[in-house]
Amino acid sequence: MWFTLLLLSWSVEIVLGGWFVYYFWTVKAWTVGDITEFGLGYDVLFVYHSLTQSLRHPYLITQVQIAYFALIVYAAFHVLAIARGLAFPGRERLRLGVRMQPSIREVERFDRAFAQLARGRLTIPEAPQLKKPRWWAVRDGHGLQIRWVGWVLVIDRDLLVSKHFPALFAHQLGHSHSFDLLTRTLWNIFPSLRWAPLTFFGLPNACGRILFYPFWMKYWRDRVFACDEYAARLGQRHQLIRALDTLNWTMEGHTATPGGRWFHETPYLESRIDRLMRYQAPLTRTSSRA
């Protein structure tokens, strides 16, 4: 699903977006009913010829050349977007003020939580694979959040000492156990939605992102449910329910939003809890043969 969405989004962004740029700048006039309006490329060409007609040897340009220049600008915006997207995790960690070198006590708490999940996994039939994050960091303060910022797991210090940490940790491990971190990286390199108004000037930045935005939000909500199931398969179902119920005020999805969650990456917390309560562990191979 993630690969299909990326392929479709970038196809619209590059192919259809590039066609729009070329057509926008080469069309001579737009006609709607009885109203005819000259195209922006034709206006630019007219202004250029008006300013250069007094020169002895003016450099002649055509609308096609203007369109090619617009395509170069359009490509430059995407190169800038890729650079911004790749740099975003580092800038976000600097903004949050995280410590990339946890203290000895924090490392011990982290290792105890992971060891607890590893021990529990050994007693659960058909439990998923478990792998310790390669990079993790701590954010000082009174927050109770845990999230991936790029490929680094950032944990609020107060959550690290909380009894709810192992369950929420198990949920986040579900993201690193899938293609979520890679997909998020490739999602971040799309042009910003704030650049979309440039479409009125023939540069349809973020058109692929906008066209498939509801599908992307649905994909991210499904990934949240999938990671909840991953934690449940590690034996953390009841613990995760308690964590979501107790710490709901610190998480997205605990209050109503206009239009529901159609344009949000996370589902309502109650929907997550409801799915966990209805979750049934997969049957073992022995019991399925019986």
Contacts of 33 (CB under 8 A, 6+ apart): none
Dmax over Cα atoms in the chain, in whole Å? Answer: 94
Instruction: Kindly report, residue by residue over 3-51, the tens digit of the pLDDT.
Output: 999 999 999 999 999 999 999 999 887 777 777 777 888 888 888 778 7
Instruction: Kindly report, residue by residue over 119-130, the tens digit of the pLDDT.
Output: 999 888 888 999
**Contact (Cβ atoms closer than 8 angstroms) between residue 136 and residue 152:** yes
Structure-block tokens of residue 228: 């909840």
Q: Give the Cα separation of 238 and 220 in Å (integer).
A: 23
Total number of residues shown for the chain: 290
Q: What are phi and psi of 131, to 5 degrees?
A: -135, 130
The separation between the first and the last C-alpha atoms of the chain, rounded to the nearest angstrom, is 34
Residue 283: CA count within 13 A, CB half-sphere: 6
Q: What are phi and psi of 57, to 5 degrees?
A: -130, 75
Domain boundaries, the chain: 2-16+87-289
Q: Give the Cα separation of 288 and 192 in Å (integer).
A: 49
Q: Give the Cα separation of 189 and 84 in Å (integer).
A: 7
Question: Looking at the whole model, is its pTM more than 0.85?
Answer: yes
Whether 290 shows a pLDDT value over 60: the answer reads no
Instruction: Kindly report, residue by residue over 54-70, the tens digit of the pLDDT.
Output: 777 777 788 899 999 99
CA 250 from centroid of its chain's CA atoms: 20
